[in-house]
Amino acid sequence: MREIVFHYDPISPYAHLAFERLPQALMGHSVAVRCKPVLFAALLKAHGQLGPAEIPAKRDWTYRQVAWLAHQHGVVLDLPAAHPFNPLPLLRLGLACATDDAPGDTNRFVTEQLFHHVWHGGLDATDPARLADLQARLQDHMAQRGKPWSPPEGEVVKQRLRANSDEALALGLFGVPAMVVDGRVFWGLDALPMLRAYLDGDAWFETQWAAAADRPVGVRRPS
């Protein structure tokens, strides 16, 4: 069975869309999907980039496009009351549910709860009462599984998030969602058909994948 690691931050509408569409993209394949939350802002900072929502014109386009993509794919996506927002409480709540055998992962239920908290209902993702309700649901989920719960503000959870983000940077990730399989990185919702083709054994990957990285740089802008 092949393993796909789905790197995400619930702040990203594209990550939400990709998470919802991933089962269909993988249909018919025997794969195990591991969900790993990372701090998107840490990836942006490491690469000297701004997020789409930090560039005014791109921010407007992003919200229009994700609304259209949700409509096109039949996925519920309600823009939260304010965006961008600080996703750290959500990331830490997710990793509070991680288990010792996979300390950097969130299972599908937990991952879904994080995305739905942000992208269903058009509410404030950082509202303390809503976060408290989400935490209660996740704690109940862990109790039903007979698994321990780690305090979200504890050093163990913070270290899990740092380790995930460091691992993502070591893999060369620059954004979310990013799906990694066999050492290959597939970035974004629109990469799902490409990921599917790779799993199907498309011969294109035998020659063109490596060739893309061999292209010489013609000019660099001064820093």
Helix (H, G, I), strand (E, B) or coil at 34: strand
User: At a CB cut-off of 8 Å and minimum separation 6, what does 135 contact?
Assistant: 93, 96, 152
Q: How many domains does the chain have?
A: 1
d(CA 193, CA 107): 23
Q: What is the pLDDT of residue 131?
A: 98
Residue 222, domain member (yes or no): no
Residue 163, domain member (yes or no): yes
Residue 82, domain member (yes or no): yes
Per-residue pLDDT reduced to its tens digit, 51-108: 888 899 999 999 999 999 999 999 999 999 999 999 999 999 999 999 989 999 999 9
Residue 219, domain member (yes or no): no
Per-residue pLDDT reduced to its tens digit, 18-46: 999 999 999 999 999 999 999 999 999 99
Q: What is the pLDDT of residue 67?
A: 98
Residue 9, domain member (yes or no): yes
Residue 187 belongs to domain with CATH number: 3.40.30.10
Q: What's the chain's length in residues?
A: 223
The domain of 164 spans 2-212
What is the helix (H) or strand (E) element at residue 42, kind and residue range?
helix 40-47
d(CA 220, CA 181): 31
Residue 220, domain member (yes or no): no
Per-residue pLDDT reduced to its tens digit, 96-144: 999 989 999 999 999 999 999 999 999 999 999 999 999 999 999 999 9
Residue 56, domain member (yes or no): yes
Residue 221, domain member (yes or no): no
